[in-house]
Amino acid sequence: MNLVVIGAQWGDEGKGKIVDYLAGSASVVTRFSGGANAGHTIVSGGITYKLHLVPSGIVYPDKTVILGTGMVIDVESLFAELHTLEEQGISWKGRVLISERAHLVFPTYKQKDLEMEKHRRNPIGTTGRGIGIAYAQKADRDGVRCCDLFNPAVWKTLKDEEKAFVEPYMDLLKEMIVDPVSYMAAHKDENKLFEGAQGALLDIDTGTYPYVSSGYSIASGACAGGGIGALDIDAVYGVFKAYNTRVGNGPFPTEFDHDAEGELENMVRVTGREFGVTTGRPRRCGYLDLVALKYSCRANSISDLVLTHLDIYDDMEEIKVCTAYEIGGKVVTDFPARVDLLESAKPIYQTFKGWKKNISGTKKFEDLPQKAQEYVEFIEQYTGTPVTIISVGYERDDTMIRKPVWTR
């Protein structure tokens, strides 16, 4: 079975935790997009692992993880991350594979990324990891893929500093590169996970362009960048938080009003640990936007929603959710493509009573306070998609499964 896990908002939804949880019953985890712009946090046995390039299955000793074709890879960052994992007691040799078709990120790309940002019509607030440059180079048919390093005709075109950058890793890379299409075919009957990075609203085509990243963060990216075909996806899990966040610039209709809702904003940011794993930037926070979530469900054919951070709302008197926008005097429930319209959108909210109870550690949906259940059921009804996993804490086991995962 092939199960895809993506972010259904603007990234940082808790994908790492969910992939780590599901990886317990999978044999392989393939990351299909993004690069070191991602920051996936896993807490297991009291230890926190911070991943940027390495797929979130690595914490188990027996899982194979694959950096897929859709990724852009900075080899220095990758091996530094693997070294840190090793120091944390995770052995990785022999079970970290890299798609031979994945593109490389060279150090000059990072400088170019920062320079580009200065000249942009609309500064995005990139992570400065060279990601956009690597994808642009790829689209320009002038990129360098992992397999190209072993092609003498390409090697001789590399600049001396590029050769010097990859040379220390060539022996390791040679052992690690794989053709994911053959790999997936050979492991057809196993439980395989495909891990997205960023989120659907940061996808280059589906997201809030130009305030997006540059890879495929949508579910179909698992085909383009993971080594499977379009008919091979069995389920799509869309991870979303009980509220919304966004890092960097771009429209965010439900963002908390810093003056009127400063206290609430601060509570969500601190309790929800809403600071970037990659850049340390405080994340912008706001109410759950169901217009955007429904758009994500449709654009990704999300079969199962995964709700995270529900416990962050434990102390709230009232909880608001956005069910429509008012744009130019009209009520709109379709997510607009035009950034100016989205920026001018006034959210129309429905208000729910808070449950005022600590729900962390709850194991069964039926054991959640009635008001928390109502909040979840409203989301399901609005999006037309079942919420089949709920996370109420950072540890792997703080996870409620409402429907068996690998049986369909």
How many chain residues interact with Mg ion (CB under 5 A)?
Answer: 3
Minimal distance, residue 263 CB to Mg ion, in Å: 25
Q: Which residues between 347 and 386 bind Mg ion (CB under 5 A)?
A: none
Query: Treating both helix axes as pointing N-terminal to C-terminal, what angle do 290-300 and 370-383 enclose, rounded to 10 degrees?
Result: 50
Query: Out of ligand IMO, Mg ion, none, which partner does residue 202 contact, by CB within 5 to 8 A per kind?
Result: ligand IMO
Euclidean distance between the first and final Cα of the chain, in Å? 9
CB nearer to ligand IMO: give 204 or 389: 204
Minimal distance, residue 167 CB to ligand IMO, in Å: 26
Minimal distance, residue 62 CB to ligand IMO, in Å: 25
How far is residue 282's CA from residue 399's CA, in Å, rounded to a whole number? 26
One DSSP character per residue, 303-319 reads SEEEEE-GGGGTT-SEE
- Structure-block tokens of residue 115: 């320079």
CB nearer to Mg ion: give 14 or 68: 14
Q: Which residues between 177 and 216 bind Mg ion (CB under 5 A)?
A: none
How far is residue 149's CA from residue 154's CA, in Å, rounded to a whole number? 7
Residue 350 φ/ψ, nearest 5 degrees: -110, 140
Question: Exposed (0-12), middle (13-18) or buried (19+): which is 193, by Cβ within 10 Å?
Answer: buried
Tell me the CB-side half-sphere exposure of residue 256, using CA atoms within 13 A.
Answer: 22
Residue 235 φ/ψ, nearest 5 degrees: -155, 150
Residue 257 φ/ψ, nearest 5 degrees: -75, 115
Closest among 31, 8, 10 to 19, alpha carbons compared? 31
CB nearer to Mg ion: give 39 or 238: 39
How far is residue 4's CA from residue 219's CA, in Å, rounded to a whole number? 7
Query: Out of Mg ion, ligand IMO, none, which partner does residue 63 contact, by CB within 5 to 8 A per kind?
Result: none
Q: Which helix (H) or strand (E) holds 31?
A: strand 28-31
Closest among 355, 284, 289 to 321, alpha carbons compared? 289
Minimal distance, residue 52 CB to Mg ion, in Å: 9
Query: Out of Mg ion, ligand IMO, none, which partner does residue 303 contact, by CB within 5 to 8 A per kind?
Result: none
Query: Out of ligand IMO, Mg ion, none, which partner does residue 129 contact, by CB within 5 to 8 A per kind?
Result: ligand IMO
Minimal distance, residue 11 CB to Mg ion, in Å: 5
How far is residue 103's CA from residue 141's CA, in Å, rounded to a whole number? 11
Residues 38-77: x where in contact with Mg ion by CB under 5 A, - otherwise, as a string: -x--------------------------------------
CB nearer to ligand IMO: give 50 or 402: 50
Task: Return the number of other C-beta atoms located less than 10 Å from residue 245's C-beta.
Answer: 24
CB nearer to ligand IMO: give 131 or 193: 131
Among 117-125, 160-168, 191-199, 270-278, the segment contacting Mg ion (CB under 5 A): 270-278
CB nearer to Mg ion: give 29 or 345: 29
Minimal distance, residue 283 CB to ligand IMO, in Å: 8
Minimal distance, residue 297 CB to ligand IMO, in Å: 18
Q: List contacts with ligand IMO (CB under 6 A).
A: 7, 10-12, 34, 37-40, 124-127, 129, 131-132, 197-199, 202, 213-214, 247-248
DSSP 8-state code for residue 281: P
- Structure-block tokens of residue 355: 């449950």
CB nearer to ligand IMO: give 56 or 69: 56
Q: Give the active site residues.
A: 12, 40
Interaction between residue 12 and Mg ion (CB under 5 A):
yes
Query: Out of ligand IMO, Mg ion, none, which partner does residue 37 contact, by CB within 5 to 8 A per kind?
Result: ligand IMO
One DSSP character per residue, 172-220 reads HHHHHEE-HHHHHHHTTTS-EEEE--S-GGGSTTTSSTTSS-SS--STT
Q: Shortest Cβ contact with ligand IMO: which residue? A: 248
Query: Out of ligand IMO, Mg ion, none, which partner does residue 130 contact, by CB within 5 to 8 A per kind?
Result: none
Q: Which residues would be at the binding site for Mg ion (CB under 5 A)?
A: 12, 39, 277
